[in-house]
Structure 1
Amino acid sequence: MEWQQFITSDKMILPGKPIIKGTRISVELILELFGSGWTENQILEAYPNLSTDSIRAVFAYLKDCLQQELYFPITS
């Protein structure tokens, strides 16, 4: 999955947060929706300008961020 085809950042949109290209829908929002129990179908119904591939790109982007150690350390 080439997430770069679907995810971008523009300092003029949501102060530079990663978003799905052609929308103002942030990666963060998609993750929040899944974290709240939404299904992929519910997200696609609520945001018809998204595609299955754009949602999958969110997770590919997140995976790359974690591989590059762009995360907050968890302490116990």
Structure 2
Amino acid sequence: MTSTELTNRITVNPAIFGGKPIVRGRRLAVEHVLGMLAAGDSTESLLAAYPWLEREDVLACLEYARRLVAHERVEPAIRTGDAA
């Protein structure tokens, strides 16, 4: 997905959800889509729940998250004691 395609689908509006990334200017936050997918919902169930939503919107949410994570450094948790 190109940057232009991504920014056509993922937008920010300070008047909606405090400026969090949303899908195509609507009241559906990227984090909400990601949360539903993480909870086990399928793309098909999201498309059924939001008739205006397109498969490419869901893919754009995933691509947005991938690009954010690609720039983060993740430190593994330090654990003490016996391994489980």
TM-score (norm 2): 0.79
Gaps of 5+ in 1: none
1:30 shift after superposition:
0.4
Aligned CA-pair RMSD: 1.6
* Distance of aligned partners of 1:74 and 1:14 in 2 relative to their CA distance in 1, 3 Å threshold: farther
The structure, 1 or 2, with the larger RCO (C-alpha pairs under 8 Å, 6+ apart) is 1
Larger radius of gyration: 2
1:74 shift after superposition:
4.6
TM-score (norm 1): 0.87
Over the matched positions of the two proteins, sequence identity in percent amounts to 29
- Count of residues in correspondence between the two structures: 75
Gaps of 5+ in 2: 79-84
> Is this contact kept in 1: 2:12–2:25, CA < 8 A?
no
Question: How many angstroms apart in 1 are the aligned matches of 2:21 and 2:40?
Answer: 22
Give the letter for the 2:17 counterpart. Answer: L
